[in-house]
């Protein structure tokens, strides 16, 4: 089989150049997977033993697809390739060499739940406040340290780490790290981070092991190199040291996983580490139309920190990128649903041809409702359906039981949520009593002291009083007021708010999104009945959908942009294109973060093959209040000649647009608030002198050049950096990273 057939000139060169370090900069849609698989097959055709080839990917799916393609070319010999994810390959090496590290080859691999369970036990044994030492927060800190190759001994010996922990009111984190590692070792277990951590130790401390694998892996290939972290890169550097036949494939413009520890510097500085690197650029995009490719190029050109490349396509120009303005998030979702229905009818497209991409999972709710109402099948990728998420089901269960005390499933779900000391054995006893006396479970709960004695009766009685209070509101409050009271007084919102992990923040945002949906329901003039019962009836119609045919994959895809990398669709909607939503307010603290957000938008644009629609809304419910929103700065960075607002003709200027140019393109917006383009946190007052960040402490009065004076409410650690929550006198509450925020202590 001719492996070069159908390849363009740079692709051929990438396949044939087998010796020495090579960096393949693969633009979006440039056929990198084909190049990588053909390169491996070519090595095998040239007589390289597949046993001496190491190919590393980030997903099992990618590894399986590549292996399948190679098998089609090279046959069963491909089974001998060392091909897989970083974690799977390194686990394989660790099992072979386990005795070097005093493990056995049968060591267990802890998943996240195993790790949390172990850490939770240690925190409890130490008598620490579990609300302050949240398992997810502490585990995140430990994970970050391992990926930076900081052992617990080094952590405990470094006073800077202790000061960070003390400032966060968690001075015991170092000791917890030590105990966690000791207990895992005693259990002959490693977690996912350990697979990288111990592989580094193995190669660093055992020269004979290092030489063994350096000799073995004569050719090393790494896919999605821009997503590697420090730990992964150091392992690869050690393995490639002898032969230096290392091939990395990636695109710095698609580096979007810094929150997972990915370091874009690995790809940006690859040539520094390998001075004689051959650089090949795959710049022809086979996926998208000309307008989409050029729109993406004009956006990503605004990033300063990037590798040179010029992505182009010979595909037809196609339609301009559409920009759609709506007046609310509900209207935005309705418009998208209508557009999908219309395009399916007019162009005989399938559901699977469409994707709706959003910045946060919480945004899926309104789009799910819109698609369900139009009987359009969909699937959620990378997350549960909004109404199937645990935190949503929890609050819905409270609301259901407030209305219907015979709903025993709802009662069982909420009676010990949040935890109030009513265990499963107690609930089983209550059920037995109910059956014995011929009563409902609620009747026993509501009058528990007549049926049961013991320590738990006080908690059960308090729970019953809470439900009775909730019930009393049904006749005097609308659905939103009832739901808001229930969410707060039940303790659900408080518990989620206090969980500062990424997962906890996401769950908190999801519950707020549910409250926003209820508020929108109440404010909708078409809904005459604004009661909780009416809302729950509407929700039940949304969630009791017919069972999907398991073999039916013809569904609209809903997913976050982070989850969409590597995928492509004929028709893509990128929704929620509003300032402070995308880019996220959490990513405005530094130019580095803002450039990552811009790369995320670049990834979203380049998922589209022929049709790309950007939507935004001027109002959106946030924490139950209707707030005004402005068009994202990122839309303003796309050359307007590739954009078309609604059905207007695209502008044909050859110059790149300023934001004011784009605003004239959407001049009929009648904004109620003025748009401000944030240029980092640079003071505009030349007399403004920031104070050292270590003087910014809880309770201090500070001044910011943009937001004015305010009071520091809280200071804590975020990804190794200190952040402050500040209540500004006029600007409201802001969360700022102290390494970037310029604050003057008053």
CA distances from 43 to 36, 65, 85 (A): 11, 18, 20
Q: What are 163-177's pLDDT values in tens digits? A: 989 988 899 999 999
Q: Is the pLDDT assigned to residue 362 strictly greater than 80?
A: yes
Helices (H), 2-82: 9-16, 32-45, 60-74
pLDDT in tens, 604-634: 999 999 999 999 999 988 877 888 999 999 9
Could you identify the residue written with the tokens 């303005």? 325
Condensed to tens digits (0 to 9), the pLDDT of residues 121-164 reads 899 889 998 888 999 899 999 998 998 899 999 999 999 999 98
Tokens of 272: 């520094």
Label each residue of 646-696 as H, E or C.
CCCCCCCCCCCCCHHHHHHHCHHHCCCCCCCCCCCCCCCCCCCCCCCHHHC
Least confident residue range of 240-244, 260-264, 556-560: 260-264
Listed ranges 112-126, 547-561, 710-724; the one with the highest mean pLDDT: 112-126
Per-residue model confidence as pLDDT tens digits over 46-90: 999 999 999 998 877 778 788 888 888 777 788 888 988 888 889
**Range in 150-159, 265-274, 521-530, 542-551 the model is least confident about:** 542-551
Bigger pLDDT: 694 vs 17:
17
- pLDDT of 706 reads 75
Contacts of residue 382, defined as CB under 8 A and 6 or more positions apart, other chains included, come to: 361, 559, 560, 562, 563
Which residue from 395, 401, 363 is spatially nearest to 380, judged by alpha carbons? Answer: 363
For the chain, give the number of residues. 746
Mean pLDDT check: name the lowest of 233-247, 258-272, 378-392: 378-392
Residues catalogued as catalytic: 32-33, 223-224, 254, 607
Half-sphere exposure of 496 (CA within 13 A, CB side): 21
Higher pLDDT, 183 or 577: 577
Residue 552: what pLDDT? 62
Contact 602, 300 (CB under 8 A): yes
Residue 661: pLDDT band with limits 50, 70, 90: very low
Separation of alpha carbons 155 and 175, rounded Å: 9
CA distance to 287, 417, 444, 445, per residue, from 433 (Å): 65, 22, 7, 10
Q: Are 172 and 124 in contact (CB under 8 A)?
A: no
Higher-pLDDT residue of 706 and 509 is 509
pLDDT at 676 over 80: no
To which residue do tokens 């070519």 refer? 42
pLDDT at 259 over 80: no
What digits encode the pLDDT tens for the residues 14-55? 999 999 999 999 999 999 888 999 999 999 989 999 999 999
* pLDDT, tens digit (0-9, with 9 covering 90-100), for 426-454: 988 898 898 888 888 899 999 988 888 87
Average pLDDT over the chain reads: 85
Model confidence at 589, pLDDT cuts 50, 70, 90, reads confident
In this model, does residue 665 exceed pLDDT 60?
A: no
Q: How confident is the model at residue 197 (pLDDT cuts 50, 70, 90)?
A: very high
pLDDT band at 1 (very low <50, low <70, confident <90, very high): low
Using DSSP, state whether 557 is helix, strand or coil.
strand
Residue 670: pLDDT band with limits 50, 70, 90 = very low
User: pTM of the prediction?
Assistant: 0.71
Distance CA 717, CA 602 (A): 30
List the single range of 120-129, 252-261, 664-673 with lowest mean pLDDT: 664-673
Q: What are phi and psi of 710, to 5 degrees?
A: -165, 175
């Amino acid at each position: 089989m001719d492996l070069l057939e159908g390849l363009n000139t740079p692709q051929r060169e990438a396949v044939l150049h087998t010796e020495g370090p090579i960096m393949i900069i693969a633009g979006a849609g440039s056929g990198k997977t084909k190049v990588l698989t053909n390169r491996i097959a070519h090595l095998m055709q040239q007589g390289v033993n597949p046993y001496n080839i190491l190919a590393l990917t980030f997903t099992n799916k990618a590894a399986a697809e590549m292996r399948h393609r190679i098998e089609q070319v090279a046959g069963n010999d491909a089974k001998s390739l060392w091909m897989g994810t970083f974690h799977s390959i390194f686990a394989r090496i660790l099992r072979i060499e386990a005795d070097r590290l005093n493990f056995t080859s049968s060591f267990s691999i802890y998943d996240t739940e195993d790790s949390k369970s172990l850490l939770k036990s240690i925190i409890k044994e130490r008598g620490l406040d579990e609300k302050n030492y949240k398992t997810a927060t502490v585990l995140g800190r430990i994970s970050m340290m391992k990926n930076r190759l900081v052992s617990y001994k080094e952590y405990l010996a470094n006073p800077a780490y202790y000061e960070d922990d003390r400032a966060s009111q968690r001075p015991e984190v170092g000791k917890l790290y030590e105990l966690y590692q000791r207990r895992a070792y005693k259990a002959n277990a490693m977690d996912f981070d350990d697979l990288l951590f111990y592989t580094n130790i193995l190669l660093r401390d055992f020269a004979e092991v290092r030489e063994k694998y350096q000799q073995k892996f004569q050719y090393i290939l790494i896919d999605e190199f821009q997503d590697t972290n420090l730990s992964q890169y150091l392992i690869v550097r050690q393995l490639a040291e002898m032969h230096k036949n290392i091939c990395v494939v990636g695109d710095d413009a698609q580096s979007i996983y810094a929150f997972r520890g990915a370091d874009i510097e690995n790809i940006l500085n690859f040539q520094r580490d390998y001075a004689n690197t051959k650089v090949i650029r795959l710049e022809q995009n086979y996926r998208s139309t000309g307008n989409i490719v050029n729109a993406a190029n004009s956006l990503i050109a605004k990033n300063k920190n990037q590798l040179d490349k010029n992505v182009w396509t010979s595909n037809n120009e196609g339609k301009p990128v559409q920009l759609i303005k709506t007046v609310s998030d509900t209207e935005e979702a309705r418009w998208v649903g209508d557009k999908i229905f219309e395009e399916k009818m007019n162009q005989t497209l399938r559901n699977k041809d469409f994707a709706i991409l959003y910045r946060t999972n919480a945004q899926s709710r309104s789009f799910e409702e819109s698609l369900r109402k139009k009987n359009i099948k969909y699937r959620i990728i990378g997350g549960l359906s909004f109404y199937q998420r645990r935190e949503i089901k929890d609050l819905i269960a409270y609301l259901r039981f407030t209305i219907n005390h015979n709903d025993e499933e709802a009662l069982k779900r909420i009676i010990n949520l949040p935890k109030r000391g009513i265990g499963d054995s107690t609930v089983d006893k209550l059920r037995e009593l109910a059956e014995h006396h011929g009563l409902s479970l609620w009747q026993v709960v509501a009058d528990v002291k007549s049926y049961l004695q013991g320590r738990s009766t006080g908690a059960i009685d308090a729970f019953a009083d809470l439900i009775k209070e909730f019930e009393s509101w049904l006749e005097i409050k609308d659905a939103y007021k009832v739901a808001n009271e229930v969410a707060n007084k039940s303790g659900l919102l408080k518990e989620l708010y206090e969980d500062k992990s990424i997962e906890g923040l996401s769950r908190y945002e999801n519950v707020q999104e549910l409250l926003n949906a209820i508020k929108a329901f109440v404010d909708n003039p078409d809904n005459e009945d604004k009661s909780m019962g009416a809302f729950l009836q509407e929700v039940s119609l949304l969630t009791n959908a017919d069972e999907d045919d398991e073999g039916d994959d013809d569904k609209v895809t809903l997913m976050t942009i982070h989850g969409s990398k590597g995928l492509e669709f004929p028709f893509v909607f990128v929704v929620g294109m509003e300032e402070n939503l995308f880019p996220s307010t959490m990513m405005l603290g530094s130019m580095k973060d803002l450039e990552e957000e811009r790369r995320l938008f670049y990834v979203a644009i380049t998922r589209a093959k022929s049709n790309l629609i950007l939507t935004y809304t001027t109002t959106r419910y946030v924490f139950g209040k209707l707030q005004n929103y402005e068009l994202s700065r990122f839309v303003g960075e796309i050359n307007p000649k590739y954009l078309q607002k609604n059905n207007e003709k695209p502008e044909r200027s050859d110059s790149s647009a300023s934001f004011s140019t784009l605003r004239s393109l959407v001049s009929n917006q009648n904004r109620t608030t003025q748009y401000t383009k944030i240029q980092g946190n640079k003071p505009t007052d030349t007399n403004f002198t920031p104070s050292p960040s270590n003087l910014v402490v809880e309770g201090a009065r500070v001044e910011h050049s943009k937001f004015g004076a305010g009071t520091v409410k809280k200071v804590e650690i975020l990804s190794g950096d200190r952040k402050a929550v500040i209540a500004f006198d006029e600007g409201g509450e802001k969360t700022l990273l102290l390494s970037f925020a310029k604050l003057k202590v008053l």
